[in-house]
């Protein structure tokens, strides 16, 4: 699956990322990680102290990827509304859910502060960045003064995460797209028509 050129720690992290997204923390065994990465037990424990250490590294990598994808839309061209819309409407694997948000549903992750930290930090950073976009839009006169920017940002994050849950429960992307459409309609009421 992986080329010989890719370093063993990278193969282990990528394999763990994929397995965590597919199976969650509890369903991801060290043996499955080793098999997917094409490495032996000794290699895994040479680079990582155990499953929690490797899972934390994989979760941090997934978190950075999620934040980088969000930043691509949120820092792009356009008005604040257009940038937030770009984030909400970007292409996603809706029925797979969020690789980071999925971890918030795993009791073993939530019970372990070291594993929970990347999840919590990801959503805090994402919320802060969306808050900044809303505040920038208000300063530029693109958005009206109104509801607290942090509350609007929390709604945007919650719509995406909740939309994933609704879509997975229905085995259809439609609930996700309806949730995003509702959020965009509410955000559009904040656009300053000047």
Distance between CA atoms of residues 192 and 176, nearest Å: 27
Residue 19, SS3 per DSSP? helix
pLDDT < 70 positions in the chain: 1-6, 194
In the chain, count H helices and then E strands. 9, 0
Beta bridge partners of 64: none
Question: Measured between alpha carbons, how far is residue 140 from residues 158, 171, 180 in Å?
Answer: 26, 41, 25
Q: What confidence score (pLDDT) does residue 1 get?
A: 52
The pair of three-digit structure tokens given for residue 109, joined into one six-digit string = 């992750």
| Topology adopted by domain 8-188 | Tetracycline Repressor; domain 2 (1.10.357)
Q: What confidence score (pLDDT) does residue 41 get?
A: 80
Distance between CA atoms of residues 106 and 119, nearest Å: 11
User: What ranges do the domains of the chain cover?
Assistant: 8-188
Distance between CA atoms of residues 45 and 126, nearest Å: 33
Which of 133, 159, 135, 155 has its CA nearest to residue 146?
Answer: 135
Tell me the residue ranges of DSSP E strands in 28-150. Answer: none
Distance between CA atoms of residues 77 and 75, nearest Å: 7
Q: What confidence score (pLDDT) does residue 5 get?
A: 52
Q: What confidence score (pLDDT) does residue 95 get?
A: 95
């Amino acid at each position: 699956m992986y080329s010989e050129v890719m370093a063993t720690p990278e193969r282990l992290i990528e394999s763990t990322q994929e397995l965590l997204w597919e199976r969650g923390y509890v369903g991801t065994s060290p043996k499955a990680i080793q098999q997917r990465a094409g490495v032996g037990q000794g290699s895994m424990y040479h680079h990582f102290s155990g499953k929690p250490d490797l899972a934390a590294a994989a979760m941090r990598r997934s978190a950075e990827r999620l934040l980088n994808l969000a930043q691509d839309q949120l820092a792009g061209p356009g008005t604040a509304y257009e940038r937030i819309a770009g984030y909400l409407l970007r292409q996603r694997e809706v029925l797979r859910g969020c690789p980071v948000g999925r971890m918030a549903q795993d009791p073993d992750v939530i019970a372990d502060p070291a594993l929970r930290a990347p999840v919590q930090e990801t959503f805090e950073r994402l919320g802060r960045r969306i808050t900044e976009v809303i505040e920038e839009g208000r300063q530029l006169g693109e958005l009206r003064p109104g509801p607290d920017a942090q509350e609007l940002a929390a709604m945007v994050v919650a719509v995406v995460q909740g939309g994933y849950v609704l879509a997975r429960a229905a085995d259809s992307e439609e609930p996700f797209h309806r949730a995003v459409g509702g959020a965009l309609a509410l955000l559009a009421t904040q656009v300053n028509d000047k």
